[in-house]
Structure 1
Amino acid sequence: MKVKTCGLFRQEDIVFANVLQPDFVGFVFAPSRRQIDIAMAQKLKEALLDSIQAVGVFVNAPKEEIAQIARLKVIDMIQLHGDESEEYISELKVLCDLPIIKAVCVRSARDLGVVNGADYMLYDALNAGSGMRFDWGLLEGFCAKKPYFLAGGINAQNLAQAMRLDSYAIDVSSGIESHGFKDFEKMAHIIRTVRAFPSVDENLSNEEKR
């Protein structure tokens, strides 16, 4: 299982990431208290370890704007968190040769059945970045057609429950903050706990040894 720490906007956040080494970090380009501009994203990306992938988070942004940021090599992946259509995703893929994550705000089981041309799905609560979660019970027994990121209200208290679900990655933002800023200790706890969680392959290997 992988981990993404989203909403990094300070140099200190990059220092934390380089020490703890999550698989992904998220730069938010959409309107948000965590929003950064291209210039700041470039500075943060330059300081980020090459082994950590930077995900650009966009909401209904012009495709050309995303393509420009991609050409500057500020991001390694694209996360679409708005009402982007299948046509939008197809056209963006022509402009940018980067993996795409499509976020879906989950209201009911029907939302989990949404399939599009993105490479990954991301299941989130209705108010992204608010620290709220959706009904994770909807994911129990769910057979995902694509690898998915689980987001929305994940923190130290419910992390164990989140990890029991069959997600590709845990995506945290407000759950690793104190007073609106990334907290090293909270970030460390989440990342180290996920790192210690056995993967499906490891579970199979253990079963084979018995």
Structure 2
Amino acid sequence: MKLKICGMKYPDNMLEVGSLLPDYMGFIFWEKSARYFDGDMPELPKSIRKTGVFVNESISEIEEKVKKYDLQAIQLHGQETVEFCSELKIKFGISIEIIKVFSADENFDFSVLKPYESVCDYFLFDTKGKLPGGNGTTFDWKILENYPSTKPFFLSGGIGVAELDSINEILKTDLPLYAIDINSKFEIEPGLKNTSLCTDAINRIYTKNK
């Protein structure tokens, strides 16, 4: 299982968190977000997959950000269609991972996933709320028992230290949980991560992998 630390905003903080070597680091390119990033990105360890988070953005704008920041992954957090994802996949090939986000609640219809399986590398499940993401709450993970796919997925949505302990129960199942995505509950303020809490998260995640 891997770890993604999302919502990075400040270069010095990026370097601090980057020194912890999370597997993924997320940068939000949606202007309405309190964690919107549009600055200079420092040199980060090569092992970290820099992930751009987009909400209903144009392909040309995504391509511009990929080139500007040398992104290795694209996270689609809006109502992007199968055709849109397919176009991105054709454009970038295997060089860029595509993560399609789905907002989940107790009524989530897992059948919507099937058309996306061939055009995405991973799914990501976040909590359904007023905003496309960053609502700071978890959804009932029991609904994942209905997951019909073998496609690896990220788990997101209000995950804090307490929730990290609960993830062990998911790991005991056959669910293809690929990565945990943490954000607001590991912050001092929006976009500024608490490196001590992030260190704790990394220690817990990698201990579970042993």
The bucket for the TM-score relative to the shorter chain is 0.7 to 0.9
Q: Which amino acid aligns with 1:192?
A: N
Q: Which residue of structure 2 lines up, in the alignment, with residue 93 of structure 1?
A: 89
TM-score (norm 2): 0.86
Larger RCO (alpha carbons 8 Å, 6+ apart) = 2
**Distance in 2 of aligned mates of 1:142 and 1:68:** 34
**Distance in 2 of aligned mates of 1:16 and 1:7:** 14
Listed as ranges, the gaps of 5+ residues in structure 2 are: none
- Who wins on radius of gyration, i.e. which is larger? 1
| Percent of residue pairs bearing the same amino acid type | 34
| Aligned pairs (5 A) from 1:1-210 | 1-30=1-30, 31-37=32-38, 40=39, 43-44=40-41, 46-97=42-93, 98-108=96-106, 110-113=108-111, 114-115=113-114, 116=116, 117-127=119-129, 128-140=133-145, 142-165=147-170, 166=175, 167-180=177-190, 181-198=192-209
Shift of 1:172: 0.3
TM-score (norm 1): 0.86
**Distance in 2 of aligned mates of 1:177 and 1:163:** 23
The answer to whether the Cα contact below 8 Å between 1:77 and 1:101 also exists between their aligned partners in 2 is: yes
**Distance in 2 of aligned mates of 1:87 and 1:141:** 26
Q: Which amino acid aligns with 1:99?
A: E
Q: Which residue of structure 2 lines up, in the alignment, with residue 205 of structure 1?
A: none
CA offsets 1:5-53 (integer angstroms, 9 cap, x no match): 000010132122222110000000012000012xx2xx32x42111111
**Distance in 1 of aligned mates of 2:136 and 2:89:** 31
**Distance in 2 of aligned mates of 1:179 and 1:70:** 26
Shift of 1:158: 1.5
The answer to whether the Cα contact below 8 Å between 1:163 and 1:170 also exists between their aligned partners in 2 is: no
The answer to whether the Cα contact below 8 Å between 1:107 and 1:126 also exists between their aligned partners in 2 is: yes
Listed as ranges, the gaps of 5+ residues in structure 1 are: 200-210
Range with greater deviation from structure 2 (79-88 or 5-14): 5-14
The answer to whether the Cα contact below 8 Å between 2:110 and 2:148 also exists between their aligned partners in 1 is: no
Runs of 4+ in 1 over 3 A off after TM superposition: 108-113, 140-144
Shift of 1:92: 1.6
